[in-house]
Homo-oligomer: A and B are copies of this chain.
């Protein structure tokens, strides 16, 4: 970190990263000298490579194999990407067609985006619906099922509906419920979910029936499940794409990654924490899950009408086409946000 790399070292490093990303094979000095016009001999490059390894930018699978970039090497490479590469006209056209006009409903858009990204990149894509905490309640409805259960439905201004079955205290009558529904509705409509979470129900309902404070627990249930729901708006695309990546020929590595992808809660944590970090790229060991220390994840955000932002990300091996994925993500999230 302290010493900035001189120009030629950078060139060598980037050549190695570039080559390794394409071939997935450790790259040697001769290859660099041949394929990239650096104007120096392999021997010189060897010296530079040796230095770069000492500095921690490269690693060597074994003596007498070529070098591969370390996480630190990738990091420098990614940080140096100033102008992310332009998409081809074909890609732009494809994206526009698939995310085009007449997609109804948030679900469909997100699913389409996930499918699209995974097929374009051959990596796994993860799309997270807009965080609901900032969304405003459009309406809250309580529909009784029978005397002991009711369905509570919340509609946000973004058109998202979440619902939950709640247990009711035995003591409620039908009429109680109707009034209750009316009052709750009036109290909640227009507020954000996070406001709702802090709302003291007794002040709202106190005037009506001070006796049935037990109802509060039912509302607590709903609020709890709203928090849960927040993490559930998750769409995976191309989870099996890692099978195509030579990096995961090893069954043990494969298992690690697939196991994570199977757990919604983990994926959720992964994406949100990746997005929380200032950079939108998390490389290998930078990311919070030990199991994904051979993966990188690139994240972009979008907003879909409402105030909450959503996340859209691509998960692949550290040997990832960073530039291209960044361009794609940027463009796709832009298209989505335009709706």
A residues touching B (Cβ–Cβ < 8 Å)? Answer: 104-106, 138-139, 141, 143, 145, 149, 151, 153, 155, 157, 159, 161, 163-167, 238-240, 243, 249, 251, 254-255, 258-259, 262
Q: Is the CB of B165 within 8 A of A104?
A: yes
- Knowing that A138-B143, A153-B161, A240-B255 are A-B contacts, what are 9 other residue pairs whose CB atoms are under 8 Å apart, sorted by A's residue number? A104-B166, A141-B141, A145-B155, A151-B159, A161-B163, A240-B258, A240-B259, A243-B251, A258-B258
Residue from B143, B239, B249 within 8 A of A141 (CB atoms): B143
Query: How far apart are the CA atoms of A53 and B250 in the complex, in Å?
Result: 36
Q: How many copies does the complex hold?
A: 2
Chain B residues within 8 Å of A145, by CB: 138, 155, 157, 159
Chain B residues within 8 Å of A153, by CB: 141, 153, 161, 163
Query: How far apart are the CA atoms of A159 and B146 in the complex, in Å?
Result: 10
- Chain B's nearest CB lies how many Å from the CB of A225? 9
Chain B residues within 8 Å of A159, by CB: 145, 149, 151, 165
Which residue, of A155, A157, A251, has the highest number of chain B Cβ atoms within 10 A? A155
Q: Is the CB of A167 within 8 A of B104?
A: yes
A-B contact pairs, 30 of them (CB 8 A): A104-B165, A104-B167, A105-B164, A105-B165, A138-B143, A138-B145, A139-B143, A141-B143, A141-B153, A143-B155, A145-B155, A145-B157, A145-B159, A149-B159, A151-B155, A151-B159, A151-B161, A153-B153, A153-B163, A163-B163, A238-B262, A239-B262, A240-B255, A240-B258, A240-B259, A240-B262, A243-B251, A243-B254, A249-B251, A258-B258
- Chain B's nearest CB lies how many Å from the CB of A259? 5
Chain B residues within 8 Å of A164, by CB: 105
Chain B residues within 8 Å of A141, by CB: 141, 143, 153
- Chain B's nearest CB lies how many Å from the CB of A69? 25
Query: How far apart are the CA atoms of A104 and B262 in the complex, in Å?
Result: 23
Chain B residues within 8 Å of A165, by CB: 104-106, 159
Chain B residues within 8 Å of A240, by CB: 255, 258-259, 262
Query: How far apart are the CA atoms of A143 and B238 in the complex, in Å?
Result: 35
Which residue, of A143, A153, A165, A254, has the highest number of chain B Cβ atoms within 10 A? A165
- Chain B's nearest CB lies how many Å from the CB of A115? 11
Query: How far apart are the CA atoms of A259 and B240 in the complex, in Å?
Result: 6
